[in-house]
Amino acid sequence: MRHLFTVIKRLSNKAPLRAHVLRPLKASGLVWESGRAGDGAGRLVCGSSPGALDKVRGQVEVREEFISEAEESALLQELEPGLRKKRYEFDHWDDAIHGYRETERVQWSPAGGAVLDRVRGVAFPGGGPLLGPVHVLDLDKTGYIKPHVDSVKFCGSTIAGLSLLSDSVMRLVSQQDAADWVDLLLPRRSLYIIRGSARYDFTHEILRDEESVFGGLRVPRQRRVTVICRNLPA
């Protein structure tokens, strides 16, 4: 059975995205976000220019160590049985995602539910209707997510993801000017939030292992499981 989000990605992937050629990161060309207290931005966000960072200022956030190792284990224990029943999908060339399996979850254990309440508390502080099922995406070590924009029909202005099992690099590229890009280092057990124009006007992608470099620093990719909360369109 195709899950909702597979369908979403297939739809959104049909949008005429500018082909994005991955460029080598040159440390000299990087600009580091100065960061605000508590959001980890100082070390975890960099971009092609001050202008590129300005475009997403206040709309991207990475919170390091958002969950403990014990919480990560509890979440995985809860998710593994469902994931193990599925096979990784590699061969759908038109999918936005390569090497993945996925599921959705509505009911959580008390431990999982408590973590998700914390995610929702920081990502959706104003309340508002959320997409009921939480999206769980399991990327194989060789898996990656191509540049895409989440469906505006099904998803609202905010996307919040917990990264389990692996560090990774998320790249945002301006749809207006592909020279403007911003990279987020997503450490294992961190939470990222992308909102507003960072979500609508930039594509996002998760780099494959061979290209997984942040600010000149190699970020080896392992199998990675993301737990993603979204709100509904206004």
Interface with ligand OGA (CB under 6 A)? 5, 137, 145, 150, 161, 204, 206, 226, 228
- Distance separating alpha carbons of residues 55 and 34, to the nearest angstrom: 14
Q: Find the residue with minimal CB distance to Mn ion.
A: 150
Q: CB under 5 to 8 A by kind: which of ligand OGA, Mn ion, none does 161 bind?
A: ligand OGA
- Distance separating alpha carbons of residues 24 and 76, to the nearest angstrom: 34
Q: CB under 5 to 8 A by kind: which of Mn ion, ligand OGA, none does 155 bind?
A: none
Shortest distance, position 225 Cβ to ligand OGA, whole Å: 9
Q: CB under 5 to 8 A by kind: which of Mn ion, ligand OGA, none does 174 bind?
A: none
| Contact code string over 80-119 relative to Mn ion, x by CB under 5 A | ----------------------------------------
Determine, following the binding rule CB under 5 A, whether residue 150 of this chain makes contact with Mn ion.
yes
Q: Which residues pair with 162 in a beta bridge?
A: 191, 227
Q: Find the residue with minimal CB distance to ligand OGA.
A: 226
Are the C-beta atoms of 185 and 172 separated by less than 8 Å?
no
DSSP classification of residue 76: H
* Chain centre to alpha carbon of residue 63: 13
Are the C-beta atoms of 211 and 168 separated by less than 8 Å?
no
- Distance separating alpha carbons of residues 234 and 232, to the nearest angstrom: 6
Q: Which residues bind Mn ion (CB under 5 A)?
A: 150
